[in-house]
Structure 1
Amino acid sequence: MNLIDKFHNWRRRLRWNKQYRKGRWDNLRNPIEAERYNTIINYIKTHAKSEPSILDLGAGEGVLNEYINAENFSYFLGMDFSDVSIQKAKAKNFPKAEFVTADIHTYTPSQKFDVIIFNEAFYYVHDSEKQNVLDRMLAHLTDEGILIVSIYREGTGCWEYFDKMKQLDFTTVKTNEEKTYWKIGAYKQ
């Protein structure tokens, strides 16, 4: 990223921290989101090994942890750009889960994972860095691991990065609100 992109990235972090402080992202717990989270969990149950290790990129306050049963995974690491959201997630003391604040553009996991989830996060990756971020995460996916991608609406400029991977599953989670839907895919290298 060039200097201007880094500046905008810094401003985005400040904005997200402010929004998390004010409760702007509390809507992620609305029932309208439940099917999206349940689809991610079903992909894990269907396509991952039993009790996988999970890396949730874009974990926010740990909403996925509110849906997933801790008996269904061995270890969960949630990563988000907002330190305010991560502090809220840590305060919930989810079993077998840790949370870290990091910038997805530079974050390198310290271990390999059986499941890596781009949880409404890939479209925030700067265009010049999308392939680099994807390659870095794939390098930290176990040999039989799966990648799950959840993107709000169309995700223009995102899906083509996953075309080279083997698609295991793909669906559009629709709601009663015309413009509120998510596309979710599960992939293997």
Structure 2
Amino acid sequence: MSDLLKEQFDAVAQSYDLQRRQLIPCFDDFYSTATAWVNVDKISPRILDLGAGTGLFSSYVRKKYPEAQLTLFDLSEEMLQGARIRFGEDSSVQYISGNLATYLFEGKQYDAVISSLAIHHLSHQDKRALFHTVHNIVTDGGIFVNADQAAGTSAYFDNRYKGQWEHTIRQSGLSNEVVASAIERRKLDHNATVENQLKWLREAGFVEAESVYKYNEFAIFFAQKY
């Protein structure tokens, strides 16, 4: 993940949560479905949020598992500062600032790994490597829920998705400056198809892997380790 990407997310950290609902046309369905698939048979599960940003996805999961032990991981320290404000003095929430493509989670085990709108920033090679890492650090029976972006099956669909998204956010009430910034950030995306991401999850060792939701380029992936 590039320094440019870090700079762009540092710059929008303070307003990111306020903008996110308007930048994601399917916001409510997207996050409610992702949260619904986070099912762990423990009262106090250990949950790792990759690319956690300001902790939005973790906050939904926390409502479902009030006694969860959360670890929030993100490239941007400014984003994590937003998460610290969100969770306050909660001692069961830990924070790690690092690069998803290079960080070593040695000796760590989690009952669930979650992520939202982060992994698509990685190169395809780094995505595949990360899926192997996730499989290694999730416990037997543990799960991986990734709510992310996915490429269309062809350039035709990618262009249709992009056009619909840009039309929607221009009608959302966001300022021209915010819209332009969001479009600029999207130039750094490395979306992979649903088919390839499922293939890479299975290659990593997840016998069960499925796309459980899709709205244009927004997709949710669920995988379980046995």
Q: TM-score range by the shorter chain?
A: 0.7 to 0.9
Q: Helix, strand or coil for the counterpart of 1:129?
A: helix
The residue number in structure 2 matching 1:4 is: none
The residue number in structure 2 matching 1:49 is: 41
Could you tell me how far apart the structure 1 residues matched to 2:118 and 2:7 are? 17
The residue number in structure 2 matching 1:162 is: 201
Could you tell me how far apart the structure 1 residues matched to 2:140 and 2:12 are? 38
The residue number in structure 2 matching 1:28 is: 20
Give the TM-score, by structure 1 length.
Answer: 0.78
Could you tell me how far apart the structure 2 residues matched to 1:108 and 1:72 are? 28
Residues 75-105 of structure 1, C-alpha deviations (whole Å, 9 max, x = no match): 1111111111101111223543222211101
Greater alpha carbon shift after TM alignment, 75-84 vs 135-144 = 135-144
Contact 2:48 2:72 in 1 (8 A): yes
Q: Which amino acid aligns with 1:75?
A: Q
Unmatched segments (≥5 aa) in structure 1: 1-7
The residue number in structure 1 matching 2:73 is: 79
Could you tell me how far apart the structure 1 residues matched to 2:29 and 2:219 are? 12
The residue number in structure 2 matching 1:146 is: 143
The 5-angstrom pairing of residues 1-189 of structure 1 reads 9-21=2-14, 23-24=15-16, 26-29=18-21, 32-45=26-39, 48-51=40-43, 52-68=45-61, 69=63, 71-93=65-87, 95=90, 96-109=92-105, 111-154=108-151, 155-157=191-193, 159=197, 160-164=199-203, 165-167=206-208, 169-174=210-215, 179=216, 182-189=218-225
Comparing both structures, which one devotes a greater share of its residues to helix?
Answer: 2
Residues 184 and 70 (structure 1), Cα distance of their counterparts in 2 relative to 1, 3 Å cut:
closer
Give the TM-score, by structure 2 length.
Answer: 0.66
Residues 29 and 61 (structure 1), Cα distance of their counterparts in 2 relative to 1, 3 Å cut:
farther
The residue number in structure 2 matching 1:5 is: none
Residues 153 and 132 (structure 1), Cα distance of their counterparts in 2 relative to 1, 3 Å cut:
closer
Unmatched segments (≥5 aa) in structure 2: 152-190
Could you tell me how far apart the structure 1 residues matched to 2:112 and 2:11 are? 30
Identity of aligned residues (%): 17
Q: Structure 1 residue runs of 4+, over 3 Å off? A: 29-32, 70-73
Q: Superposition RMSD on alpha carbons, in Å? A: 2.5
Could you tell me how far apart the structure 2 residues matched to 1:130 and 1:152 are? 13
Q: Helix, strand or coil for the counterpart of 1:20?
A: helix
Residues 161 and 82 (structure 1), Cα distance of their counterparts in 2 relative to 1, 3 Å cut:
same
Question: Which structure is larger by alpha-carbon Rg, 1 or 2?
Answer: 2
Comparing both structures, which one devotes a greater share of its residues to strand?
Answer: 1
Q: Which amino acid aligns with 1:108?
A: L
Contact 2:209 2:221 in 1 (8 A): yes
Q: Which amino acid aligns with 2:136?
A: A
Contact 1:81 1:103 in 2 (8 A): yes
Q: Which amino acid aligns with 1:56?
A: D
